[in-house]
A and B are shown apart, each in its own frame.
Chain A
Amino acid sequence: MQLTINGESRDVDVDPDTPLLWVIREELGLTGTKYGCGIAQCGACTVLVDGYPTRSCQTPAESVTGAEIKTIETVEETETGRRVVEAWVANQVPQCGYCQSGQVLAATALLTETPNPTDEDIEYAMVNLCRCGTYNKIRAAVRDASEA
Chain B
Amino acid sequence: MTFMQKLLKQAPVNVSRRGFLSGTGALVLSTTLPVRPSKAQEAEAAAGPAVPAFLEIHEDGTAKLLSPFIEGGQGIYTTFAQVVGEELDLAPENFSVEIAPAGPPYDVMGGFRITGGSMSTRTSYELMRQLGASARAMFLEAAAQDWGVDASELTTEPGMVVHEASGRRAGYGELAAVAMDLPVPAEVTLRDPSEFRWIKTPVPRLDVRDKSTGQAKYSIDVEVDGMLLAAVQHAPRLGLTPASVSNLSEIEAMRGVHSVHLLDGAVAVVAGKFWQARRAVEAAEVEWTEGEAQWPMPADFSTDVFRDTLAGKKGEIVEVEAKGDAASALESADTVIEAIYDAPFVVHGQLEPPSATARFNDDGTLEVWTSCQAPEMFQGTAAQVAGLDPSQVSIHSQMLGGFFGRHFLYATSNPFPQAIALAKAVGQPVKLIWTREEDFLRDAPRPLGLARFRGAIGPDGPTALSVEVVGEGPTGRWYDAPVGSDPSATEGISGKSYAIANSHVGQIFHPNPAVIGYWRAVGHSMHDFMYEGFLDEIAGAAGQDPFEMRRALLTDNQRLSTLLEAVGELSGGWQPGPFEAEDGSQRARGIAMASPFGSEAAAIAEVSLDGGEVAVHQVWVAIDPGQIVNPAIVEAQVQSAVALGVSQTLVEELTYEDGEPTARNFDLYPILRPDQMPEVHVRIIESGAPMGGVGEPGLPAVGPAIVNAVATLTGERIRSLPLSKHEFGGA
Residues of A that sit less than 8 Å from B by CB: 14-15, 18-19, 22, 25-27, 29-39, 41-42, 44, 71-73, 75-76, 85, 88-89, 92-101, 104, 123, 126-139
A-B contacts counted at CB < 8 A amount to 173
B666 in contact with A95 (CB, 8 Å): no
Complex Cα–Cα for A7 and B350 (A): 33
**Which B residues lie within 8 Å of A96 (CB)?**
72-73, 211, 350-352, 399-403
Complex Cα–Cα for A42 and B671 (A): 10
**Which B residues lie within 8 Å of A134 (CB)?**
636, 639-640, 643
B214 in contact with A93 (CB, 8 Å): no
**Which A residues lie within 8 Å of B666 (CB)?**
37, 39, 41-42, 129
Decide yes or no whether B677 CB sits under 8 A from chain A.
yes
A133 in contact with B673 (CB, 8 Å): no
Complex Cα–Cα for A26 and B667 (A): 26
List which B372-426 residues lie within 8 A (CB) of chain A. 399-404
Given contacts A26-B273, A32-B215, contact A137 B636 (CB under 8 A): yes
User: How distant is A106 from chain B, measured CB to nearest CB, in Å?
Assistant: 10
A89 in contact with B214 (CB, 8 Å): no
Q: Name the segment of B216-224, B291-299, B485-493 touching the other chain.
A: B216-224
B215 in contact with A88 (CB, 8 Å): no
B351 in contact with A42 (CB, 8 Å): yes
Given contacts A95-B636, A127-B674, A134-B640, contact A88 B208 (CB under 8 A): yes
Cβ contacts A to B, 25 pairs, < 8 Å: A18-B275, A26-B229, A26-B273, A31-B221, A36-B436, A37-B436, A71-B214, A73-B214, A75-B214, A85-B213, A92-B632, A96-B72, A96-B350, A97-B210, A98-B351, A100-B212, A129-B351, A129-B673, A130-B674, A131-B404, A132-B351, A133-B677, A134-B636, A136-B677, A137-B636
Q: Which residue of B lies closest to A88 (CB)?
A: B212
B274 in contact with A22 (CB, 8 Å): yes
Complex Cα–Cα for A88 and B229 (A): 33
Contact with A along B632-649 (1 / 0, CB 8 A): 100010011111100100
A interface: dominant SS: loop
User: How distant is A124 from chain B, measured CB to nearest CB, in Å?
Assistant: 9
User: How distant is B677 from chain A, measured CB to nearest CB, in Å?
Assistant: 4
B352 in contact with A34 (CB, 8 Å): yes
B212 in contact with A104 (CB, 8 Å): yes
User: How distant is A44 from chain B, measured CB to nearest CB, in Å?
Assistant: 6
**Which B residues lie within 8 Å of A95 (CB)?**
73-75, 402, 636, 640
**Which B residues lie within 8 Å of A41 (CB)?**
665-667
Given contacts A15-B255, A85-B212, A97-B73, contact A123 B665 (CB under 8 A): no
Contact of A131 among B74, B209, B399, B671 (CB under 8 A): B671
**Which B residues lie within 8 Å of A37 (CB)?**
436, 665-666
A93 in contact with B212 (CB, 8 Å): yes
Complex Cα–Cα for A48 and B705 (A): 40
A92 in contact with B636 (CB, 8 Å): yes
Decide yes or no whether B207 CB sits under 8 A from chain A.
yes
Decide yes or no whether B672 CB sits under 8 A from chain A.
yes
Contact with A along B215-245 (1 / 0, CB 8 A): 1111011010000010000000000000000
A97 in contact with B209 (CB, 8 Å): no
**Which B residues lie within 8 Å of A97 (CB)?**
73, 207, 210-212, 216, 399, 401
List which B670-688 residues lie within 8 A (CB) of chain A. 671-675, 677, 679-680
List which B273-308 residues lie within 8 A (CB) of chain A. 273-275
Decide yes or no whether B111 CB sits under 8 A from chain A.
no
**Which B residues lie within 8 Å of A123 (CB)?**
674-675
Q: Which residue of A lies closest to B75 (CB)?
A: A95
Decide yes or no whether B661 CB sits under 8 A from chain A.
no
A98 in contact with B675 (CB, 8 Å): no
Contact with A along B32-73 (1 / 0, CB 8 A): 000000000000000000000000000000000000000011
Complex Cα–Cα for A148 and B238 (A): 55
Given contacts A133-B642, A134-B639, contact A94 B351 (CB under 8 A): no
Decide yes or no whether B551 CB sits under 8 A from chain A.
no
Q: Which residue of A lies closest to B209 (CB)?
A: A89
Closest 5 CB pairs of A and B: A133-B643, A32-B214, A97-B211, A98-B401, A96-B73
User: How distant is B505 from chain A, measured CB to nearest CB, in Å?
Assistant: 31
Contact of B214 among A26, A72, A131 (CB under 8 A): A72
**Which B residues lie within 8 Å of A44 (CB)?**
351
**Which A residues lie within 8 Å of B675 (CB)?**
123, 127
Contact of B673 among A26, A99, A127 (CB under 8 A): A127
Decide yes or no whether B617 CB sits under 8 A from chain A.
no
Given contacts A26-B274, A88-B208, A88-B212, contact A99 B639 (CB under 8 A): no
A136 in contact with B680 (CB, 8 Å): yes
Complex Cα–Cα for A129 and B559 (A): 36
Q: Which residue of A lies closest to B74 (CB)?
A: A95
Given contacts A37-B436, A42-B351, contact A104 B213 (CB under 8 A): yes
B677 in contact with A135 (CB, 8 Å): yes
Contact of B639 among A71, A94, A133 (CB under 8 A): A133
Q: Which residue of B lies closest to A85 (CB)?
A: B212
**Which B residues lie within 8 Å of A35 (CB)?**
220, 353, 433
Given contacts A92-B205, A133-B672, contact A38 B212 (CB under 8 A): no
Complex Cα–Cα for A85 and B353 (A): 25
**Which B residues lie within 8 Å of A38 (CB)?**
435-437, 665
Complex Cα–Cα for A136 and B216 (A): 22
Complex Cα–Cα for A135 and B642 (A): 11
Q: Which residue of A lies closest to B632 (CB)?
A: A92
User: How distant is A135 from chain B, measured CB to nearest CB, in Å?
Assistant: 4
Q: Which residue of B lies closest to A133 (CB)?
A: B643
User: How distant is B236 from chain A, measured CB to nearest CB, in Å?
Assistant: 18
**Which A residues lie within 8 Å of B213 (CB)?**
32, 72-73, 75-76, 85, 101, 104
Contact of A36 among B273, B353, B674 (CB under 8 A): B353
